[in-house]
Structures are given as C-alpha cells and as structure tokens.
Amino acid sequence: MVDFLNPSRRGVLKGGAAIGAGLAAPTIFSSQAWAAEYLNKPTGDTVTFGFNVPQTGAYADEGADELRAYQLAVKHLNGEGDGGMLNTMKPLTLQGNGVLGKKVAFTTGDTQTKSDAARASAKRMIEKDGALMITGGSSSGVAIAVQSLCQEAGVIFMAGLTHSNDTTGKDKRRNGFRHFFNAYMSGAALAPVLKEAYGSDRKAYHLTADYTWGWTQEESIKNATEALGWETVEAVRTPLGAGDFSQYITPVLNSGADVLILNHYGKDMVNSLTQAVQFGLRDKQVNGKQFEIVVPLYSRLMAQGAGENVKGIFGSTNWHWSLQDEGSKAFVKSFGAEYGFPPSQAAHTCYVQTLLYADACERAGTFMPCGVVEALEGHEFDGMGNGPTLYRADDHQCFKKVLVVKGNENPTSQFDLLEVVQEVPAEAVTYDASIFGGELGDCNNGV
Amino acid sequence: MTTPLATARSDLILFGAFTLAVLTMPIWLVPLGAGYPDLMQKFAIYGLFAIGFNILFGLTGYLSFGHAAFLGVGSYTAVWSFKLLGMNPVPALLLAILLSGLFAWVIGFVSLRRTGIYFSILTLAFAQMCYNLAYSVLTPITNGETGLRVLNSDPRALDHLTGQGVVDGPLVSNIFGLEMNGLPGFYFCAVWLLIGMYVSIRIFRSPFGLMLRAIKTNQTRLNYTGISTRPYALTAFVISGMYAGLAGALLCVTDPLAGAERMQWTASGEVVLMTILGGAGTLLGPVIGAGLIKYSENIFSAFHEQTLHDIFGFLPDGVEGVVVSVAGLFVGEGWHLTLGLLFMVIVIFLPGGLTSGVRQLVQMARRSSGGSGRSGGDAGTAPQAAE
C-alpha cells in the first residue's frame, strides 16, 4: 500500500503550487469586460426572449398551450401571420418588424413544475442564450422563484399563469410583472355569485394544493365566503401532483360540510374533481341542502380533462375564448388558424404579456430593464381581451375584468365547456396594494 | 498487482489531469454550448454528489436509493445557516456536512442491517419519508413546495455583527465580498470538487478502501474470517452522505433556495444513473456520468423545432420535415427518452460504464500495436456489485 495518509513535504509543496497556479489562472476569464450598460444587450439583429414553461408534470397541458401562444406572439411581432392582437391593441407603438428593428428570436425550457429545474432553465437562458426577458410558469411557486432569479440577474420577468397573491404581493419584485389575475380577485368576483346561487348559510370544506398559490387562494376564498356568512369546516392541504385524492375526499362526506372548495389546478383539479363526483358528492343532500362543488380557478383545459363532471360548477377565470370583444376575436382567430383549436386562458395571458413587453421596449426606445420597467408601470391599455386594463405601478399587477364562469350544461362543441356567467368589472376586484405587504425594491439592469 | 510507486504516480497524473480539465472548463465547454456558469456549477456539484455516492456503491456494492435525502438535508441546513448566521458559505458548508453525516449515520445504522435489494428498499423508503415530511409536517422548517429562501428580514447574526447586515440588492452568498454566483461561484464549487476527488482517491488507495472492496467481493467470507464488516460499511455510508450534504449545500451557495423536490426519489435515481453511466467503482466515472446527464438535461431539453430546422436545414424539404419530426421526439420535452436510450445502450454494451469503454478502446489500440499494456490506473473494474 502507498503511504498516502502521510504525504511528503515535497509532495505537499508541489501540489500546493500546482493548485495555486490552477486557481489563479481562471481570474483571466472572470475579469471579462462589462462594457455594456445592461445585461445581455443585443448586439446582432435579433433579440432573444426566454419561454420557460412546464413541459412535464401536473401543469404540462397549460405549458404546452403557453408555448403555442408564445410562438404565435413571436410570429406576430416579426410581422408574419395575420398580426392577431397587434391589430386591436391600444395604444400601440410596435411597427410589426420585430422590436426596435430587431427580429425576435426565442429559446425554450422545461420548468418541470419544480423551482430548481425552472431556475436552472432560466439561468441557462440568461447566461447562455442571452435572453433579455424570461416569461412563463404555470405554478406560482415556480413563478416566484424565477421572478426573484430575474431580479437578481437583472432581466425582466413577465409572469405567465400564476394566480397566487404572493407573486405581486409579498414576493413582488421591481423586474417582475403579472397580467394574470390573482386569488384575491377570484374571491371578490366569485363571492356575490356564490351567495346568489347557494345562499349565505353554507358550510365549506377546502382541499388545497400545498404551496404558495393554494395557501393564498384558500385564504382569499375563505375570507370572501366567510364575509357572506359561510362557515369553514376544515381546510386540508394536499401535495401538488398527488394523483389520487380519494383519501382526502372520503372525510368530506362525514364532516358535515355542504360545499367542497377545490383549490386545485391543472391535472390535480381534473383528478380531485373527477373523484369527488365519482364518490357521489354532488348527489348528496347535507344539512337539507344540495351538496355543491366550487373550483375557484377554472380553465378550459381542465374542464376538457374533467369532461362531464364540470357541468354546473362555478369558478373564475382570467379570460375565455368565447368573449366577443375585438381583441379576443382577433386572438382566437389567429390561434385557431394556426393550431386548429381555441386558446386557453394560459395561452392568452402569455401572448398578451409578450406583446406588452415588446410594446414597452418600443415605447421606452431601449431593452434596458429599468427603461422597460418605467414604460410598463402605470401603463394603461385596451384591446387585449379584458377591456381597459391598468398595470398598477405599486405592485406590477394588472387590473381588469374578471370572469365568473360555470361548467356548461349543454356544450355545443368539445371546446364550449364553460359558460360566462358574469364579467366582473375591474373596480369590483381592485384592492389596496399594501394589504399583502412585500417590497418592489429597485430595478436591476444586471451590471 | 502494480507496484506502489507506479500507482502513486499514475494517481498523481490522473489528479493533475482532472484538476486541469476542471479548471479550464470555461474554455473547452464553450464549443459544446455548455460554457456558462450555471451549468458548470451543476457539473461540479453533481460530480461531487456522484463521487460520494460512488464511495458507497462503487466500493462496497451497497446500492442506496435514498441519497437525495442527504442532498436535501444539506440544502436546508445551508439555507438555515444563511438565514440565522449569515451569507458566508463556510459555516453553511461545515454545518451541512456535519448534519448530513449525522443523518446518514442514523439512516445507515438502520438500513445496513440488511444487504442487497432490502437495503436499497430501506434507503428508498427513508428518502421518500424525508421528502413527504418536508412537504407536510415539516413545512415550518422547509416552507414546503414554495421552497426555503433567505429573506432580508432574517437574523443573519454574523452579517449584522460585521456590519454587512443591510443589503440593498438581492441576498447572494459571498465569501469576504466575493459573490458566489457566476464564474466565482463555479470556481468555489470546483475547488470543493477537487478536494472531494482527492479524498476519494485517498480512500480508494487506503487499507480502508481495500476493506470496502472486500465487502463488495465477498462479504460472507469476511464474516467467516471473523471481521465485522458493518462498521466499515457504515463509515462508507456516512462519508458518502457527507459528500451529498456538501453537494446540497453548494447548490444553495450558488443559488440560495432549497426545495423539497431535491429529495424526491427521481433525484436519488439520478445519481445512481450518473454513477453507472460513467462507471461504478472507477474514480473518474461518476463525474463523467454526472456531466453527461446534466448536459443532456440542460441542452437537449432546450432544443425546439426551430433549432432542429436550423440543424437539418441542409436536407431537402420533404426529408427535412420527416427528420425534424422524428428527432423532435428525442429533444425538448423528450430528452428523458434520449437519456433512457443512452442508458440502455451503455448498460447492455458497456456494463462497466463509459470509463470501461474508454479503457477497452485503449487496450484494443495497445494490442493492435503489439505491446501488452498495463491496465489503467483505476481499480475496481468489476462491472457490477455482486450483492
């Protein structure tokens, strides 16, 4: 055996010198010049956007639809296709020849609905592909993680589908923006409709996805329904991507509750709703009332997954393809022509976010993050599907109409699954920016 | 048996070459599209993780399916150290190594009463338990799915003592002002990788390493000769747990966020894949395997149709469409498929992993040139654990 545990003095010296030299060598590279005034300043004739969406996991369906919308947005920005919402967006400074004269290129990544993977993927986009703006996410946990990464790195984050109050509340960042609505708005929009349909004397049981979005939605819906006079019997947390919810649904039957509120989304909601219906919850009479199920955050993709089971179930949504305003019609038309089916709300919000970012760059006359932040803060626009909308400067949250929807009893097509019950005006869902705490901090150019 | 002197020299050459290769990563990885800090950090960190795993699996043949638990413990410890003590990575790393070692000792103490498949199942069960605990009961400590982060309002006692408590920008781990992201972060991880590699070489060549190899070869015989093998196996288990804890802490040093998904069984499976892909029981194999898997995860998953059209643009239109649609299955969201195929090919045709493939090539070349070459510096060429 070699006497390895007692190295010779000579060996140690030699090794030490070698390691020292090795460590010193790389400083040559780390001193590379940071001449640019902001990170990833585009030097060629293209500008790169990073589309970071879940391609695997519980939110994969949403992710796939988001990616379609992004690709469509890039086409429209580069002046290909029929232009979609560029024809209806007001105000509009984009020329239809890319952004600031540069063609839009993009890179994609799989967040796997995991914060770790999402951050690794976003870092790859920033460090390797030179992305100036990251967008995407179908989970608030991921969105918040990526948003803070973008803040640290010094690029803009345009949140995709994220519904947690925290994204523009407790965890808001100066470099991050959200077009999608949030749990508080869902509660505010849903409550009056629920009161009308189910009365003010109800006992609610919550099943909640156990992460930031589920927590804030549970809290918001609880607050909204308890203000109606409802009682919350119990709120049970379920792991994200659980697959089988039967062990959580069985106790509901014996809890004395007469409303089940499913704070689930994506495949989780499809599974929990389907199982709840299979367990016969909706056929039961509890406390002399018909047992009801409510899904606060709805999407057409989920309705499609849950099939028959969604009929008559209330929920809220950011946008629906059956809306008849000019912006929505234009978007549905070009999305349908491209892919053969109507877009989901996830696709809509991602498409709009990409256009809004591009327009902000054009208005600011630069891709510099701080310039873009300034252009987006307090920006008012219209023709994007939700009526007149404000990007509030205090928390970077959009305020616009929220839709209350119901599972369609008599669908006329396989996409006609949700029926819009009410378009709740923006004023009814607006709240004071300070109620969720958090600090925007300063904008970061990454240099 | 080779002479001790030759082994020592070849180990020194191996370590020297390894050091050179690791430190020059920012140069030679650029043409491969992987020369950006985040991925290189991942190479170094997961390389370290795999080296540690290899000390257990490669030497003793005990196949642990729960090593991700130690990675997670290391991560959470590091973030808590950031939150309570401050953003200096040194206490974070030390605490992480200590705590994951302790944790490994407890799990190892129970699991090592069984061998073979039962041991694997036990470790898997422990890891899944940790994962589910992190998600449910332990949410106050782990912050569940959202992940544990360092906040400006955290105590960070040492930072406040030294007057660095108030930070305007983001909280980044730093060692005396040098921020641990980007290239400095990579070199910080690389130094730990080199230390880990050196320790691993030492263990491989020590009497202790020989004993571990004896456990893999024939544990029953050792028992009959009156040697109690369990302390040796337990030590190896704890050491590899500490490596995993260190790797987990480094993940948080470069990016101060810890999530429970790091403990999922897929993460445990990943390190097994890395080790087998590269060559279990070899010194370099695990690092190569780790690099290969992280490379395909980050690079192949980023390909989309547009990239493929660019690559295959030279083909005639009709053919290009077909080629792109077939290749599209293996990249983007289908990168797991590529990895699976690669894994199958290697296990079927090169059971000793990539390093054994290289060695076979070298030997073939030597044989054709007439010389009867000495076998390579690495020991433990036995393809698989005999457990």
Tell whether B179 lies on the interface with A, counting CB pairs under 8 A: no
Residues of A in Cβ contact (< 8 Å) with B188: none
Distance of CA A21 to the CA centre of its chain: 48
Query: What single DSSP character describes residue A96?
Result: S
Residues of A in Cβ contact (< 8 Å) with B27: 29
The answer to whether A338 and A72 are in contact (CB under 8 A) is yes
The answer to whether A66 and A53 are in contact (CB under 8 A) is yes
pLDDT at B146 over 80: no
Tell whether A151 lies on the interface with B, counting CB pairs under 8 A: yes
Query: How distant is the Cα of B369 from the closest Cα of chain A, in angstroms?
Result: 32
pLDDT at A358 over 70: yes
Query: How distant is the Cα of A296 from the closest Cα of chain B, in angstroms?
Result: 20
Are B333 and A145 in contact (CB < 8 Å)?
no
Q: What is the mean pLDDT of residues B363-378?
A: 65
Which token pair is A236?
């049970």
CA distance A336 to A333: 5
DSSP three-state, residue B203: helix
Q: What is the mean pLDDT of residues A341-367?
A: 94
Q: What is the mean pLDDT of residues A392-406?
A: 94
Q: What is the mean pLDDT of residues B255-266?
A: 86
Mean pLDDT of chain A: 88
The answer to whether A395 and A159 are in contact (CB under 8 A) is no
- The structural architecture, per CATH, of the domain A46-181+321-396 is 3-Layer(aba) Sandwich (3.40)
Backbone φ and ψ for B179, nearest 5 degrees, come out as -75, 135
Tell whether B9 lies on the interface with A, counting CB pairs under 8 A: no
Query: How would you list the strands of the sheet with A314-317, edge to edge?
Result: A231-238, A203-209, A259-263, A292-297, A314-317, A402-407, A418-424
pTM to 2 decimal places: 0.83
Are A120 and B33 in contact (CB < 8 Å)?
no
ipTM over 0.90: no
Residues of B in Cβ contact (< 8 Å) with A129: 302
pLDDT at B272 over 90: yes
pLDDT of residue A414: 84
Q: What is the mean pLDDT of residues B207-216?
A: 94
Tokens 């041991």 belong to which residue? Answer: B119
Are A115 and B257 in contact (CB < 8 Å)?
yes
pLDDT of residue A307: 86
Q: In chain B, what percentage of residues exceed pLDDT 70?
A: 92
pLDDT of residue B374: 46
pLDDT of residue B385: 40
pLDDT at A32 over 60: no
pLDDT of residue A315: 94
Tell whether B348 lies on the interface with A, counting CB pairs under 8 A: no
pLDDT of residue A383: 92
pLDDT at A143 over 50: yes
Which token pair is B67?
């090593």
- For A181-228, what is each residue's pLDDT tens digit? 999 999 999 999 999 999 999 999 999 988 889 989 999 999 999 999
Please report which confidence band the pLDDT of residue B375 belongs to, taking 50, 70 and 90 as the band edges: very low
pLDDT at A395 over 60: yes
pLDDT at A309 over 70: yes
Please report which confidence band the pLDDT of residue A46 belongs to, taking 50, 70 and 90 as the band edges: very high
Query: How distant is the Cα of B182 from the closest Cα of chain A, in angstroms?
Result: 9
pLDDT of residue B387: 37
DSSP three-state, residue A348: helix
Tell me which residue of A139, A179, A163 sits closest to A267, measured CA to CA.
Answer: A139
Bridging pattern class, strands A418-424 and A402-407: antiparallel
Within the 38-67 window of chain B, which residues sit less than 8 Å (CB to CB) from chain A? Answer: 38-39, 42
The answer to whether A53 and A67 are in contact (CB under 8 A) is yes
The domain over range B4-277 is classified in CATH as 1.10.3470: yes
pLDDT of residue B378: 44
pLDDT of residue B298: 82
CA distance B334 to B313: 21
The answer to whether A212 and A143 are in contact (CB under 8 A) is no
CA distance B251 to B74: 9
pLDDT of residue B318: 80
Tell whether A110 lies on the interface with B, counting CB pairs under 8 A: yes
DSSP string, A83-122: -GGGGT-BS----SSSBTTBEEEEEEEE-TT-HHHHHHHH
Backbone φ and ψ for A294, nearest 5 degrees, come out as -125, 135
Are A442 and B8 in contact (CB < 8 Å)?
no
Residues of A in Cβ contact (< 8 Å) with B329: none
For A115, which of B16, B181, B259 is closest by C-beta distance? B259
Superfamily of domain A184-317: Response regulator (3.40.50.2300)
pLDDT at B294 over 80: yes
Please report which confidence band the pLDDT of residue B96 belongs to, taking 50, 70 and 90 as the band edges: very high
Weakest-pLDDT range from A11-25, A46-60, A138-152, B220-234: A11-25
pLDDT of residue B334: 76
The answer to whether B173 and B182 are in contact (CB under 8 A) is no
Backbone φ and ψ for A363, nearest 5 degrees, come out as -70, -40
Three-state secondary structure of A11-23: HHHHHHHHHHHHH
- For B219-255, what is each residue's pLDDT tens digit? 999 999 999 999 999 999 999 999 999 999 999 999 8
CA distance A348 to B75: 37
For A116, which of B35, B210, B261 is closest by C-beta distance? B261
Query: How distant is the Cα of B261 from the closest Cα of chain A, in angstroms?
Result: 7
- For B148-171, what is each residue's pLDDT tens digit? 888 878 888 888 888 776 766 667
The partner residues of A109 in beta bridges, in order of sequence, read A52
DSSP three-state, residue A50: strand
Write out the residue limits of the CATH 3.40.50.2300 domain(s) in chain A. 46-181+321-396, 184-317
Who wins on pLDDT, B317 or A368?
A368
Tell me which residue of B175, B212, B209 sits closest to B192, measured CA to CA.
Answer: B175
CA distance B351 to B276: 8
Query: How distant is the Cα of A216 from the closest Cα of chain B, in angstroms?
Result: 12
pLDDT of residue B331: 77
- For A261-289, what is each residue's pLDDT tens digit? 999 988 889 999 999 999 888 888 888 89
